[in-house]
Amino acid sequence: MNYWLIKSEPDAFSIDDLKRDKITSWEGVRNYQARNNLRAMEKGDLALFYHSSTNPTGVVGVAKVVVTALPDKTQFDTKGEYYDKKSTPEKPIWYCPDFAFVEKFKSIVTLEDMKKDKKLAGILVAQRGSRLSVQPVSKEHFEYIRALGTKG
DNA sequence: GCCAACGTTGGC
DNA sequence: GCCAACGTTGGC
C-alpha cells in the first residue's frame, strides 16, 4: 500500500470531473519519472488529488488506483496532442493507471498551508521547483493532509 | 504574463 | 557522453 500525489490543472481535469466520471485513466503524462511512479502504483493505492495552476493551488481530494498501469493509448493517436512517434504498440513508452473518485475535501489544503506546516516538513510538493506531476507521499503526510481536508 | 527550475534534445 | 539551447511546468 503506497500513497501518492497527482497533479492536475482543474481547467483540464478537476476533482469535480473525477467525481462526475467516477473513474478516469490518467493519460497524457510525458515525463519519465512521473511514468515510473505511475507504473509503481498498485491496486488500492491512494492518491492526493492536487489542483495546479489555479488560485489557490492545493490538495482538493482523494483518488484510488483501481487498475494498474497499462499502455497509454493516447501515445499511438497520430492526431492527438499526446502522440509519441517513438512509441509502438509492441514497445509502448507511456503507461497510465485508472483512478476512481474517493472523496472531495470539505476544504482545500493549500500549498501555502503545506509549506507552513511543520508536520509536513520535507513533503515533495512544497519544495521549491517541484514540477513532478506524480509524486510519492509518506503515509503520515497523506493521513495528515486528508485529516486537514476532511475536517473542513 | 513572467520567469525560475529543470527535463529533453541534438550537435559535436 | 557532454552540455548549450530549447521547451515545459507551475507558482506567483
Chain A residues 35-74, Cβ below 7 A from strand B? none
Residue with cell 513508452: A93
A131 CA to B3 C1' in angstroms comes to 14
Q: In what order do the strands lie in the sheet with A58-71?
A: A23-25, A95-110, A58-71, A46-51, A3-8, A134-137
A131 CA to C8 C1' in angstroms comes to 10
- Tell if A131 CB is < 7 Å from nucleic strand B: yes
Domains of chain A: 3-151 (3.10.590.10)
**Beta strand pairing call for A3-8 and A46-51:** parallel
Strand, helix or coil for residue A42 = coil
How many helices and strands (H and E) does chain A possess?
4, 6
For the full predicted model, state whether its pTM sits above 0.75: yes
pLDDT per residue rounded down to tens, chain A (152 residues) = 999 999 999 999 999 999 999 999 999 999 999 999 999 999 999 999 999 999 999 999 999 999 999 999 999 998 888 989 888 898 899 999 999 999 999 999 999 999 999 999 999 999 988 899 999 999 999 999 999 999 87
| Single-letter amino acid code for the residue at A87 | S
